[in-house]
Structure 1
């Protein structure tokens, strides 16, 4: 036995956070695929719309909704909401909420179209007002959805090899953000406006310039967002600590911290260089198949635990569209892969609501536990090679017999129940063994009298 993990169910330390959000869905492939039932099963809490139906989006992007910039933003006839309406309605029917990216999708092609700074920042901001009114106030035959997050642009710092998201100097983005954020917040004080959806948090010059501009101009910043692609399970959590420290340095500590794109990737920056070289199709195949596998599933589950124990308020995995290479949740046909069931496992804890104390916090496997008034759950994730053994020292705080159901993530078939234990006392020592890259979910619920007898 390697170590003991103590779980104190009587000691509530906080709320389980919505870190199992995604980018896009449940519709994809020009509405030919509808994964709504899987979104409900995974309990997806927050859907970020960006690169929707890429590479040929007809929705979400401002140039698609407002195709003629010369028209009047106050005129409902200037907008084409049809395609976006379908995606928004489908998202809310699953029970999720939306983080709406105001701007445009990424452009990898040589000749760029929509990633230039708007010709008129004030008019662009008024177009944003029209979109927000349509989806939150019913304007132009719209909806009254609760859309908590409105993000201004995406990855204006994206210049790893060439500009794919913003053709302009950093200060031109800073001024767009300031203009739009002030206009939006003045019109809709209760919504959250933020950015800058950085492609990394480690571009210090862009990050510090943005935070300095926000502080100096008094621009609203309800949330600060960036993207994290990593091969280590604690990298995003560590980046969140950096975000908190930098926000605090500029007096912006009230802003929520969001990582709204993330996934497994081979070590960077070497990966991005190889990704664009001749023969990279083999590298990409290896990466994207790994994301879908049990390796990817254990990576996700371990990241969920680390994210929960970080300053992050919410996260969005990239991507949930089967047509996207970066989708580890489903194959091309929309069939759930092992990685999808890490969302299901984490959601079992999210639904319970209250996080309880786990000691030690840092260990292998990663461990998270939660409870409501009567039910409890434990998530264990071993992202690594080799079999490990250990003991869960449980303080249940139940006062009545509990049934413990054990679910193990399989290569095929998702989470399969492997056994049930009966706990008749509040102090339990439960031994476990986990194979390489494995995820174990334990659900505890009160037993009925006839079950006990």
Structure 2
């Protein structure tokens, strides 16, 4: 039993950087008859990665290069060679919802490649494939072929080439495709960011007994960095994946990636964690997909947001947010009602909207995670209790708590306002809950010297693999 309240200090006058865009996702509900995705707009989803969009083979219509450029022998300079119809609507709905696109150039995973593989072979002409990708970028960023001016910044070259359902070529062939494409695209569009390769991840770094297949992911990473450096291939970001229930493992992998990048001389390459989800180790078979939607997953997600804020991860994108997908934790299917896991994203977004991280310190309990943010008008703190006992928290802050509001997510509350958890400066944090404390502030006066320019908004012009089985 807790003998005395934990102390939590919120320093609303001390900004310490920006809240990172960690609540990105992969994909979205398919709603061709609508103009936007209201749930994404409400949760402020900052980035949507377009990999495995629409289901097997991209529904034959979405995102994938073979869906957009159906005849590889056609002319990549001719607009008639491209079929953008459904991808146009898919991306329009995301842009209308306030999301930025993180576009994966390549193919959807073919989980049943052992029966027959359709698109996993390397393109027969790497230079032409790069020109086809150029046409896609020109359409969405420069209005070509009756296109748009979306200013899509991130372009990812393939996904998980270490994984047979994604790539049947050799490691060296993928490296050549990457280098050829990255160089060509950066020459044509120096303002964009190119990268890859959406690695399967580094399970062998933290887990004993991994077989040669898992250990090969490390070899791929090492050899890729050597090749990219030798060939002077642009690498604006490096992307990687992990499916786990262990937050310490997540942070260890993030640190591993950045350490490797810096050691190889890629000092400015972004660390982008663009497939992740909660895998309950106790769940058997398909039951693990049910757990992805519920309170245990929500607690893991919110805890991950808190931990990643202090990690080398620059951006994160959860897999997955398409309701029919087994890995989708944000929607029930077929109703498309949002889940407890969705509300972890919505809670974090309240901090992201405020922008400036503020000092939030004092609690040392392993099962409690905290993160706080503020602007001139309001402050907010997210408190996550993944333990099975409620905690009393004594808040230490110069801000008045008289008009503070509390929103709670637990087994009885779905992101609901509650009034009974704050008494003076003592906050009750229920077991297995995510609590959002909102504090209105008076207009801050200038000249205090506590808010530096570094806090200005950024200027922005298979079991453990995410699959489609089921």
Judge same fold: TM > 0.5, yes or no: yes
Give the Cα separation in 1 of the matches to 2:183 and 2:155: 13
Say which SS state the counterpart of residue 259 (structure 2) adopts: helix
Within 2, Cα distance between the matches of 1:258 and 1:352? Answer: 22
Q: Secondary structure at the match of 2:403?
A: strand
SS of equivalent to 1:283: coil
2:389 maps to which of 380, 387, 396: 387
Paired residue for 1:276? none
Query: Shift of the alpha carbon at 1:171?
Result: 1.2
Alignment partner of 1:7 is 2:10 = yes
Q: 1:213 to 1:390 in 2, by over 3 A?
A: farther
Normalized against structure 2, the TM-score is what? 0.85
Question: Is the contact between residue 403 and residue 446 of structure 1 (CA under 8 Å) also seen in structure 2?
Answer: no
1:412 to partner: Cα distance:
6.3
Of 338, 345, 354 in structure 2, the residue corresponding to residue 343 of structure 1 is 345
Partner of 1:114: 119
1:235-280 CA-partner distances (Å, limit 9, x unpaired)? 322211111100001110201111111101144xxx9xxxxxxxxx
Alpha-carbon contact 1:404-1:420 (below 8 Å) kept: no
CA contact (8 A) 1:403 1:445 kept: yes
* 1:177 aligns to 2:182 (yes or no): no
Question: What is the rounded CA distance, in whole Å, between the counterparts of 2:372 and 2:12 in structure 1?
Answer: 8
1:118-129 equivalences in 2 (<5 Å): 118-129=123-134
Report the counterpart of residue 353 of structure 1 in structure 2: 355
CA pair 348-50 structure 1, distance change in 2 beyond 3 A: same
In 1: Cα distance, 2:332 partner to 2:160 partner: 27
Alignment CA distance shift 1:213-1:345 (3 Å) = same
In structure 2, the residue matched to 1:417 is 417
Work out whether residues 49 and 101 of structure 1, in 8 Å CA contact, stay in contact via their aligned partners in 2. Answer: yes
Structure 1 residue aligned with 2:314: 313
Deviates more, 1:291-300 or 1:19-28: 19-28
* Corresponding position of 2:448: none
Unaligned runs of 5+ in 2: 204-216, 444-470
- Note the residue ranges of structure 1 that are not aligned, 5 or more in a row: 272-281, 449-453
Number of aligned pairs?
421
Question: Secondary structure at 2:429's aligned position in 1?
Answer: strand
**Aligned equivalents of 1:185, 1:307: Cα separation in 2:** 29
State the superposition RMSD in angstroms.
Answer: 2.2
Q: Paired residue for 2:154?
A: 149
What's the CA shift string for 1:30-57, capped at 9, x where partnerless? Answer: x378871111111111000010111252
Instruction: Return the match for 1:433 from 395, 409, 429.
Output: 429
**1:422–1:166 Cα change, 3 Å:** closer
CA drift at 1:413 = 5.9
**Structure 1 residues 200, 34: closer, same or farther in 2, change over 3 A?**
farther
- What is the SS of the residue equivalent to 2:89? helix
Q: Which secondary structure state, in structure 1, belongs to the residue aligned with residue 344 of structure 2?
A: helix
State the shift of 1:360 in Å.
Answer: 4.6
TM-superposed deviation, 1:389: 1.4
1:443 maps to what in 2?
438
Q: Judging changes above 3 Å, is the alpha-carbon distance between structure 1 residues 354 and 361 closer, same or farther for their aligned structure 2 residues?
A: farther
CA 1:196–1:4 in 2, change beyond 3 Å: closer, same or farther?
same
Q: How do residues 24-63 of structure 1 correspond to structure 2 at under 5 angstroms?
A: 24-27=27-30, 31=32, 36-57=37-58, 58-63=61-66
8 Å contact 2:421–2:428 — kept in the other structure?
no
Instruction: Give the C-alpha shift of residue 433 in structure 1.
Output: 3.1
> How much does 1:115 deviate?
1.0
Compared CA separation, residues 447 and 139, structure 1 to 2 (3 A) = same
Deviations 1:367-425 (A, max 9, x none): 000000120001011224x11414243323x4x675211111143662011117899xx
The one-character-per-residue Cα deviations of 1:62-118 (angstroms, maximum 9, x if unpaired) are 000001000111111110000100101000000010000000000011211111111
State the partner residue of 1:274.
none
Partner of 2:454: none
Q: Which residue of 2 aligns with 1:226?
A: 240
Q: Return closer, same or farther for 1:412/1:105 CA change in 2, 3 Å cut-off.
A: farther
Distance 1:75 1:146 in 2: 22
The 1-side partners of 2:140 and 2:22 are apart by 24
Distance 1:231 1:2 in 2: 28
**1:246 & 1:382 partners in 2: Cα distance?**
33
